[in-house]
Amino acid sequence: MTQHRFPLSRLGRGIAVGSLMTLGLGVAASAQALTVISFGGASGEAMEKAYYGPFSDETGIRVTPGDYNGELSRIRAMVETGNVSWDVVEMESPELVRGCFEGLFEPIDWQRLGLGNVLIDAAFDECGVGTFVWSTVLAYDADALDNPPSSWADFWDVEQFPGTRGLRRGAKYTLEFALMADGVPAEEVYDVLRTDEGVERAFAKLDEIKPHIQWWEAGAQPPQWLVAGDVVMTSSYNGRIAAAQEEGTNLEIVWNESIYDLDYWAIVAGSDYVDEAYAFIEFASQPENQAAYSSEIPYGPVHPAAIEQLDEDQARRMPTHDENMEGALAIDTGFWVDHGEELEQRFSAWAAR
């Protein structure tokens, strides 16, 4: 997969509104439930409203939702044992590419899917169909900080901004943030990280702040910790912070130096419900359904026509809004496919010390 380099407004292959579903959605009305696995939380609730319920109502295909943390090991075990109980799974891009290489997912037959070329370029993958654009951002509690942070350099400045910080427990995103905190421009981060010296530099920067870090492993934790006062600032998925803001919290997002990526739908190899899986993915890719999802949680749609259905206030909350893309970094999927395993192992050993 190529690295995503531009905002959605510059990635479109063209707009075709209101395309008809081509898979015959009534094909499995009497079939067992289609199992769809996502990352859950606020995003899963938005999918329930925008996708699962309406899809079942329109097609008669029951959807059984579930959630996980993106680990390939569970999918690998299903495929290797032939005991596949998941059908459609939401995947982050590096894991999608790795799983595709291992044969864990069905290759996407784009002609069968019937979407043509209406999605943004980055949504097209050998084994996945992009479903939304999301960002990992710096978030903070505006009630706890008189002087708000504006960069990862501020995040690292424990004298000017005292208090515990939150970071995702893992190398991905964390090493990029460390290099940006050390003065590396966003557009040069992966060039630096591809060198041994760059990796050493990132871990040395993490050493500086390690005593002040509380590591999170689930997307729900950062906003919960901010509201509880456990941390004064943290990395977080933008949609989780937005959901907390809707509940009346005074949490704020720093879009500068955020990292954005796509999540994808993939069909697990060996699923007994491939036709139903294609029908669901096509349904979830329609502009009106994408707009319904993005209205519930501010993750950017991959169908350009969906963006036009959002009002200006909603559009401004998306990672894909032009203002929010300024200073943002597109995740380099190829880098993490090539180096992710070794860097994650090194990070785990470093964090355990």
| Same domain, residue pair 52 and 77 | yes
Cα 330 to Cα 3: distance, rounded to the nearest angstrom: 7
**What pLDDT is attached to residue 198?**
98
* Domain-located, residue 112: yes
For residue 117, the enclosing domain spans: 8-133+261-325
Question: Using one digit for the tens of pLDDT, what is the confidence trace for 180-223?
Answer: 999 999 999 999 999 999 999 999 999 999 999 999 998 899 99
Amino acid type, 142: A
Same domain, 191 and 267: no
Binned at pLDDT 50, 70 and 90, residue 85 comes out as very high
- 178 with 78, same domain: the answer is no
Q: State the CATH number of the domain containing residue 209.
A: 3.40.190.10
117/21 same-domain check: yes
Question: Do 246 and 346 fall into the same domain?
Answer: yes
Mean pLDDT of the chain: 89
Is 223 within the bounds of a domain? Answer: yes
Residue 8 has pLDDT above 90, yes or no: no
167 within some domain: yes
Share of the chain above pLDDT 70, in %: 91
pLDDT in tens, 289-345: 999 999 999 999 999 899 889 988 888 889 988 889 889 999 999 999 899 989 999
Q: Is pLDDT above 90 for 1?
A: no
Q: Is the pLDDT of residue 16 over 80?
A: no
Cβ pair 167, 177 in contact under 8 A: yes
- Sorting pLDDT into bands at 50, 70 and 90, what band is 55? very high
Q: Is 2 inside any structural domain?
A: no
Confidence at residue 32, expressed as pLDDT on a 0 to 100 scale: 63
Give the model's pLDDT for residue 283. 98
Query: Are residues 345 and 224 both part of a single domain?
Result: yes
Question: How would residue 265 be classed by pLDDT, with cut points 50, 70 and 90?
Answer: very high
| Average pLDDT of the segment spanning 97-105 | 96
- Report pLDDT digits (tens) over 60-78: 999 999 999 888 999 999 9
Q: Same domain for 299 and 231?
A: no
In whole angstroms, what is the distance from residue 138 CA to residue 253 CA?
A: 6
The pLDDT assigned to 114 comes to 86
Mark whether 245 and 347 lie in a shared domain. Answer: yes
Domain total in the chain: 2
The yes-or-no verdict on residue 22 having pLDDT over 70 is no
**Chain centroid to CA 172: how far?**
12
